[in-house]
Amino acid sequence: MDSNLDSLDKKYNLLMKRFKEYDEVNLKLSKYPIFNFYYHTSFREGNLVYIEICEGQVGAEKKVLDQTNNDESLMIDLSKNDEVIWGIYTSKCLIKRSESNLKKAKEFSKPDAGLMTYNPVKNCYVPNPKIESILQLNKDFQNEIYLTKVDILAIIYFLKNFVRSKKFDQEIVDLDTKQIIMLVESITQRFEKNFELLDRVEGVPHWEVKLDQSNKNEVVLNCKEIIITASNNNSDQVQMSNVIKANLSQRSQLVELYNHLRNYEECNIVFLEFAKKLIVRNEFPFYYQNEKTKEWWLTKLGEKILEDFNLLDFLNFETVNDLLSMDIN
């Protein structure tokens, strides 16, 4: 049987293997400067690994991550399998996306395409100067390029904040049962008010919650993860549901219910910020707004972005866990 240290080392090496694969793909992509490319930088302190995804520039020095500049980095605890699995899954999403960009770049640089030429001095492919002005006017070509220039760091921030299963026990440690129930009521009322926009943005999932106190000895929290889709008669789709019951005489059950509720609220906060980042884009929009309903529907570009990052898989974390648990056990 592996010692604890051996187990941590095994998971660390597997995690680093994935991110090094990511670097290798992006090193190839760096030969096509019209495409953005990225690299990872990291350092380890005991069971904690700090990882940051940085935008690369040909010839520029890469960032060295350490204790003094890790405020924006992803922190993964090697002792927690779900965090390691999340890191591996995230790296696989990133690799897939970079491989897609590399394939696209190679297509553009084929001689018969005539779009790009090889510059031996710079050791890279540059737009064909004879048709560069035409390329600049070609919207489809610009869209393809822009797909590689999406603010990936904003997406990473979203993923970083989303999957953490946080505990909120300290918020209610000094409260009695009645006070906890009052706070739970207040939070459930906030959902409808604070996350109204999420009811109108296609493809971005969010949680809806309802509190049932019909039984004097019990509170029941009904939770549903909802997503709206234009392709299904503009209707809501329930992706996942959860029912949490708490006996009023069992404080541990109340604490568990409260933690679930606050986690769902935190998820919605991140989803809301993510949706706002997506709908404000103008030059290459991810969304367009229906003037009558005021709902936001995905453009083809937006569909591609959400597809690349499999956002629903991050919601259904048990599925991700099943897919990758064999890698680290």
pLDDT in tens, 93-138: 788 888 988 998 888 888 887 778 888 988 888 877 776 665 555 6
Residue 84 makes CB contacts below 8 A (sequence gap 6+) with: 11, 14, 15, 76, 78, 328
Q: Are residues 178 and 318 in the same domain?
A: yes
136 and 188 in a single domain? The answer is no
- DSSP annotation string for 274-319: HHHHHHT--SS-SEEE-TTT--EEE-HHHHHHHHHHTHHHHHSHHH
pLDDT digits (tens, 9 = 90+) for 158-168: 555 544 556 78
Work out the average pLDDT over 284-297: 86
**Digit-coded pLDDT (tens) for 185-243:** 999 999 989 999 998 999 888 889 999 999 989 999 999 888 887 654 445 566 667 89
- Residue 162 domain-assigned? no
Q: Is the pLDDT of residue 1 over 80?
A: no
Co-location of 173 and 312 in the same domain: yes
Q: Which segment of 13-27, 138-152, 223-237, 238-252 scores lowest on mean pLDDT?
A: 138-152
- Pair 189, 140 in one domain: no
Closest to 55 measured CA to CA, from 37, 71, 73: 37
- Say which range, 28-37, 258-267, 310-319, has the weakest mean pLDDT: 310-319
> Would you say residue 229 lies in a domain?
yes
How far CA 51 is from CA of 60, 70, 77, 235, in Å, comes to 19, 8, 11, 39
- Return the pLDDT at 311: 56
pLDDT value at residue 317: 47
Mean pLDDT is highest, among 14-28, 88-102, 193-207, 256-270, for 14-28
Does residue 323 carry a pLDDT above 50? no
Domain annotation covers residue 160: no
Q: What is the pLDDT of residues 179-193, one digit of tens each?
A: 999 999 999 999 989
Under DSSP, the state recorded for 8 is H
Q: How many residues does the chain have?
A: 329
Query: Looking at 149, 178, 196, which one is the last position of a domain?
Result: 149
Domain end call among 149, 177, 204: 149
Asked if residue 159 belongs to a domain, the reply is no
CA 77 centroid distance within chain: 18
Angle (deg, nearest 10), helices 300-309 and 139-147: 20
Residue 149 reports pLDDT greater than 60? no
152-162 helix and 81-109 helix, angle to the nearest 10 degrees? 160
Q: Do 289 and 319 reside in the same domain of the chain?
A: yes
pLDDT: which is higher, 76 or 319: 76
Whether residue 88 is contained in a domain is answered as yes
Q: Tell me: pLDDT of 263 over 90.
A: no
Q: What pLDDT, on the 0 to 100 scale, is given for residue 156? A: 54
Same domain for 140 and 111? yes
Domain co-membership, 177 together with 308: yes
Most confident of 130-144, 249-263, 276-290: 249-263
Q: What are the residues facing 66 on neighbouring strands?
A: none
List Cα–Cα distances, 201 to 139, 145, 278, 292, 301, in angstroms.
25, 25, 10, 14, 15
| 323 against 43, higher pLDDT | 43
pLDDT tens figures, 51-68: 988 888 877 889 999 989
> Is position 164 within any domain?
no
Mean pLDDT of 254-263: 91
Interval 170-181 mean pLDDT: 93
Mean pLDDT taken over the chain: 80
* pLDDT at position 327: 52
Query: Around Cβ 273, how many Cβ atoms within 10 Å?
Result: 14
Residue 195 maps to a domain: yes
Are residues 130 and 200 located together in one domain of the fold?
no
Domain limits for position 208: 169-325
At 131, is the secondary structure helix, strand, or coil?
coil
Do residues 219 and 245 lie in contact, with contact meaning Cβ atoms separated by under 8 Å?
Answer: yes
Tokens coding 32: 């096509």
CA dist 86 and 80 (Å) reads 10
Question: What number is the average pLDDT over the span 248-263?
Answer: 92
Same domain, 32 and 128: yes
Strand partners, 35: none
- Do 254 and 303 lie in one domain? The reply is yes
Query: What is the percent of the chain with per-residue pLDDT over 70, rounded to a whole number?
Result: 76
- Domain stop point among 149, 182, 209: 149
Asked if 280 and 312 sit in the same domain, the reply is yes
For residues 21 and 94, state if they share a domain: yes
Residues 168, 170, 171, 175: is their CA dihedral positive or negative? Answer: positive
Helix (H, G, I), strand (E, B) or coil at 113: coil
Report the number of distinct structural domains present in the chain: 2
Contact 297, 290 (CB under 8 A): yes
Structure tokens given for 262: 């606050």
CA torsion, ordered 68, 69, 73, 78, to nearest 10 deg? -20
Q: Tell me whether residue 156 is in a domain.
A: no
